[in-house]
A and B are shown apart, each in its own frame.
Chain A
Amino acid sequence: MNKVAKQGDLSLYKFLNEVFELTLRANKLGVNLSSLIDSRELLKAAMEGGFTLGLESLWYEMAELAYAKAKNESLKSWFDAGVWFAKRYVTGETDDPFEAFKKDLKDFTWNVPELELNKAADTVSVRIVSPRFTEAYTFLFLSFLEGALETFGYKIDSKEISRGIISLEAVRDQH
């Protein structure tokens, strides 16, 4: 602790006081220091995963405009993004790439109230419920998932889609 205080040109006394002031400030915001660390790690992972942070409503509106203008091209752009995102895990050195992918996907979709992604033997089931998704955004997000799942070696077997709801089953592609 002394070493850390010195690195910041602070006395131990001053450093500890700053730490406690920060903790109490965080407490007033209804969060604790571990959530700060989680947020920092989340941002770092998002940056490395090729994501950008912005306002959800703006993303939806832009997606609507692009989807209306060029539906297939828009779907392909999301599909390719899903492929790229999943490839990081497939080609990385993680022990369980799918679990790592699932964790990051859940973290990066903090605005989605319900996201379940379950893998069992040769199947993967996905269920997403997000009332704020527009219809276009729902289909674009589905395309992102399809790209990611294909990269993991799965093909979509069945799906049920409506605005804000994605429910699908994918099976391991034997070819």
Chain B
Amino acid sequence: MSSKKGKRLVYIPDDIVKEAKMVSKGRGESLSLFISEVLRMALRANSLGYSPGTAAEFLEIMQAQRNLGGAFIPADVLTYLNNKACEAEVEQLEKKWYESGKWHGKYLNEKFEDPIQAFKKFLEATRWDLSEVEVRQNQGKVKFRCISTLLTGKATELLAKFIEGAMHSIGYQTDKSDTLKGMILLDFKR
């Protein structure tokens, strides 16, 4: 690296430079302006706690969420809906969460190289009521462990159905299921 008049020279692989040139040209910007902008954004992303690697993963998850038809709902309303809708038709509601999970899993399976890790990251990024999401993959078996101090018993069961639906779409069967209020322990096998 060398420096001159407050500017620095950093070596970047040729293939990346070529692609960056194409992108900047497509945007009608100079390469230099494009690079400065990218670096400024990278520093902002860093201040939000993102390394470039985790930022890329997050970006893909959020993009997938938008494509899937993600929507926000007040958390208290969701708790209410879980309880009230369960009073109405618990089996029907479980089926809806399961089917939603299946739809989600199908999308992740087609979109991501490692759909299980993508699903874990999706849960971590969007289900902030979960304090812990642990996924262990070992020789065709997958263990899910989700912990929350906020979920009600019904909400825990419905989320477990959602996870099962997603994993079934990804090509796994439920081997063992143990759900307690605020705790989901699920084992899957190929």
Contact = CB atoms under 8 A, between A and B. Distances in A.
Contacts of A74: 80-81, 84
Contact of A54 (B13, B16, B85, B126): B126
A13 B10 contact: yes
A62 B158 CA distance: 12
Interface string B54-71: 011011101101101111
A26 B59 contact: yes
Contacts of B88: 65-66, 68-69
A37 B125 contact: no
Interface in A30-67: 31-37, 39-41, 43, 46-47, 50-59, 61-63, 65-66
A103 interface: no
Interface in A1-35: 1, 4, 7-8, 12-13, 15-27, 29, 31-35
B44 A37 contact: yes
Contacts of B126: 43, 52-54
Contact of A51 (B46, B51, B73, B97): B73
A55 B70 contact: yes
Contact of B45 (A25, A36, A61): A36
Interface stretch (A105-113, A118-126, A161-169): A105-113
B81 A62 contact: yes
B74 A84 contact: yes
B122 to A, nearest CB: 10
Contacts of B74: 50-52, 78, 81, 84-85, 144
Query: In terms of DSSP, what is the predominant structure of the interface of chain A?
Result: helix
B179 interface: no
A42 B77 CA distance: 19
Contacts, number: 195
Nearest to A56: B71
Interface string B29-55: 000000000110111111010111101
B84 A70 contact: yes
A73 interface: yes
A52 B55 contact: no
A23 B68 CA distance: 23
A26 B69 contact: no
A80 interface: yes
Interface of B: 1, 10-13, 16, 19-20, 23, 38-39, 41-46, 48, 50-53, 55-56, 58-60, 62-63, 65-66, 68-78, 80-82, 84-85, 87-89, 92-93, 96-97, 100, 103-104, 125-129
26 contacts: A1-B42, A4-B46, A8-B51, A16-B39, A17-B13, A17-B16, A18-B52, A19-B39, A24-B20, A29-B59, A40-B48, A50-B75, A51-B72, A53-B71, A53-B72, A54-B100, A54-B126, A55-B103, A62-B85, A62-B93, A63-B81, A65-B93, A69-B84, A77-B76, A85-B74, A144-B77
